[in-house]
Chains A and B, each alone.
Chain A
Amino acid sequence: MRAQPRDTGREEAALEASLAAVWSSRPGLLGWLTTVDHKAIGRRYIVTAFLFLALGGVLALLMRWQLAQPEGRLLGPDRYNQVFTMHGTTMMFLFAVPVMEAMGVYLVPLMVGTRNIAFPRLNAFSYWVYLFGGALLWIAFLLDMAPDVGWFAYVPLAGPQYGPGKRADIWAQMITFTEVSALAVAVGLVVTVFKQRAPGMSLDRIPLFVWAMLVTSFVVILAMPSIVLASTALILDRLVGTQFFNPAAGGDVLLWQHLFWFFGHPEVYIIFIPAVGMVSTILATFCRRPVFGYLAMVLALVGTGLLAFGLWVHHMFTTGLPRLGESFFTASSMAIAVPSGLQIFCWLATLWGARPRLTVPMLYVLAFLFTFVLGGMTGVMVASVPLDTQLHDSFFVVAHFHYVLVGGAVFPLLGAIHYWYPKLTGRLMEERLGRWAWGLVFGGFNLAFFPMHLLGLWGMPRRVYTYPPELPWGGLNLFSSLSAALLAAGFLLFFWNAWRSARHGEAAGPDPWGAGTLEWATSSPPPPWNFTRIPVVEGADPLRDSPDALKVAAGLRLDRRELLLTSVMAAEPEARESSPRDSVWPLLAAIATTAMLIWSIFTPWAVVWGAIPVAATLIFWFWPRGTPEDES
């Protein structure tokens, strides 16, 4: 005990040198493969997710090209069906959910003032599993083996009888990859928020984005088991002949839809709730005042998370379920408008007379309000059973959910990238390029997707690879496709800006926006240990509460990776806990898991034999090494 070096009374420079010695990853490839730093993992998570966004976007452009005119000839039916399946699957499972989790992985530990995420090795593992799952899907696509049954993979089309080959299996197994990784991140985030908050950050001082990630993580934990169960049942039906979805043997086709949407609807909120947290954060910074109605905002987040589990049936209004039950789900689906509305009203109150600086992040917030509220309105429409019987599975719904997902989640995300980019890279994104990109994205999106409402009302169903010329759909489709090019140009500009600014952007300094939350209390980008001393929080906006000097705590050890544990409610200091060192075992465990999962597409015995290397890597992962981190 006595010989342990402490940070108490040390000079800043000497302190940082000591922290660097224990917290830094090794240089070079090995360090890159073994790091457990939440910032390194979060950054590569974000970059990978945006790569998948770009790939999914290319698929969208292919579809728009194909549909620009009746009887388009760019894609045949088989390829088109793969393309729209890949587009949906990539955007939902490989972009939207991972990118939101990734933002949480990067930001939550910084915003709560700790040095690393809880279970950092699990966090590293989750990234590798996600990467390998995404690679599996895209390699299959390049080999013309991509799933062609839609991102929802309804049985019996995806079942053993009508989905021959391995396409649906690849889809189902890719699900397993992304669910494992999402669950792992969720667990890490929950525990980080519960136990690693800066001293004094009681529940009512947690930043709204952190609240949003906490609620999201719980939604992940409660929703994902459903899709894991569903995709397992699907694989078993296909591989070993179970009869879950075979009506001839007592199975049921709608069972799939219940399980899928019991996950699938919360999935939308898994994407949306973090975005809401981003909006609140950006608003508070540029309006230079806290978001109006903190408690109401938190309750709305929790309420949204709870309601998310009570409305899956509105995806099944046309399946012939009992009418009274459907009306219940109409009520619950529309009820989601209440917490959403409450948040919008609080944001409006925050904006009222605040004269916010109209920076690019702020512009994205305005675009969000314009677009998301419209998507919310059409959401109320599809929640109504009679209206939904006309709108369901038509292009109206395509328009609706793109308004909600792009307007409600991608716009805030793009704003968030601009907003936190200086923290990620140390540099600001170029403002003028950012404005151009914003204009193209916002304008292009609305021009491309608004006409689809009308196409749906004119009877155009979803998921068609072409349509005959005698139907009056050609004009609007062409308009939509041309506008999609604008949208794509906007994204190209955004990517170009992000790429360029990483090298040539203006240096940001620790807090370029004059923000109030803790991630801005450390340098940009933060050092591997995040905070040289753990900050102490006395209000909801710690940086604004004490603008001249950050209040911090001393007394942590310097010979091991150490961080502070605090109590769940009041965040009172409880213990100094170690944080695990870098390790190659998460990567090896992910490789073993990948081998087992891919192998099990072909034979059930893979689960038996493949479990052995998985278990072995896990044992090596957890076996103590006698480092100072293992001391108590």
Chain B
Amino acid sequence: MNGAAQSALAPGGAEAAAILSLFWPVTALLGAIWLAVLLVLALGLWRRPGAAPRRAGLAVGAATAGTVLVVIGLTLASYLVTRPLSAAAEAPLVVQVQGRQWWWQVTYPAEGDAPGFTTANELRLPLGRPVRLELAAADVIHSFWVPNLAGKQDMIPGRDNALLLTPRQAGIFRAQCAEFCGMQHARMALPVVVQPAAEFARWRAGQAAPAAAEALAVAGRQVFESRQCSACHTVRGSEAAGSTGPDLTHLASRETLGAGLLPMTRGALAAWTADPQTLKPGNNMPLVPLTADELQALTEFLALLR
């Protein structure tokens, strides 16, 4: 992940670019006004002593009128930039993202021939196609923010919000929850992978399929199904069908583990499974006591969920 993967100043989408195109002129204008005020202040202090300026009333009046004009101008400019941001695009890709303490559930509804599926903690979008993200919250308020692609939009229990965006640049961006949502608010990130349409379609087909056959064949599957894991998690193709935790059907295909906490490696999987509470204190996954053999088998199983 590069350093600009979570920056409003490096737009990779139409909306973020539009906002940035408003940001710079506004910043320049306001910065100039600030400097002008300081300049007048310095001149005023510098000036030889004398009575109050003769035409001070006029100057103050003119400056105030100028302020009014700037305010009107900026209000209009900001309205004009807002309008296209909320205009409905034609045939957008619809993705439902639900904020949860402290992870993201991502659902792609069926579209044409492509079946729908649910995944978690990773959002993939096709390059260039408008996207409509339907944002919801399962517990408390969260806020969805990929600064490179668009401004943020809150996810509010009991309300349906949506965010429109159009990715213009391929790459991995980072979204992060922007509304304080409790203990692990800081550890609630989401890789957003923008890829060419064909790659996206391949990924989509893979995600919609059940778990890999080689994963379902290993001994770790029984551990997963017989211990507490299956109470909360789903692995399609196995008996595990819990719904309070992230869907793990293609866990190992994701960029990160634990909502952006760790890069997806076998070691990370083992560490997380062994003790999620040390890595992300307070998160809703309990520590499940496992023997060393069980842990190893389970890690093997998880790592095969590609």
Contact = CB atoms under 8 A, between A and B. Distances in A.
Interface of A: 76-78, 81, 148-150, 154, 156-157, 161-162, 247-248, 252-254, 289, 292-293, 296, 318-320, 323, 326-327, 330-331, 334-335, 337-338, 341-342, 344-346, 348-356, 366, 369-370, 373-374, 377-378, 380-381, 383-394, 457-459, 461-468, 470-472
A458 B9 contact: yes
B44 A380 contact: no
A292 B56 contact: yes
4 closest A-B pairs by beta carbon, nearest first, are A389-B151, A247-B158, A459-B6, A464-B186
A148 B184 CA distance: 12
A334 B74 contact: yes
A384 B30 CA distance: 13
Contact of B81 (A78, A296, A378, A386): A386
Contacts of A154: 140-141, 179-180
Contacts of B60: 292-293, 296, 342, 345-346, 349
Nearest to A84: B180
The interface size bin for chain B is: 35 or more
B156 A320 contact: yes
Interface string B20-57: 00110011001101100110110111011111110011
B112 interface: no
Contacts of B63: 341, 345
B242 interface: no
A622 B158 CA distance: 49
B226 interface: no
B180 A253 contact: no
A389 B49 contact: no
B221 interface: no
Contacts of B183: 77-78, 81, 148
A461 B56 contact: no
Given A331-B75, A349-B56, A377-B33, 15 more contacts: A77-B183, A81-B183, A253-B157, A293-B60, A320-B159, A323-B82, A327-B75, A331-B71, A334-B71, A373-B37, A384-B81, A386-B81, A461-B145, A463-B185, A472-B3
B178 A337 contact: no
Nearest to B31: A377
B147 interface: yes
B281 interface: yes
Contact of B282 (A77, A392, A470): A77
A393 B143 contact: yes
B14 interface: no
Given A335-B71, A472-B3, A162 B140 contact: yes
A301 to B, nearest CB: 15
A371 to B, nearest CB: 10
A384 B22 contact: yes
B68 interface: yes
Contacts of A387: 19, 22-23, 26, 78
B79 to A, nearest CB: 5
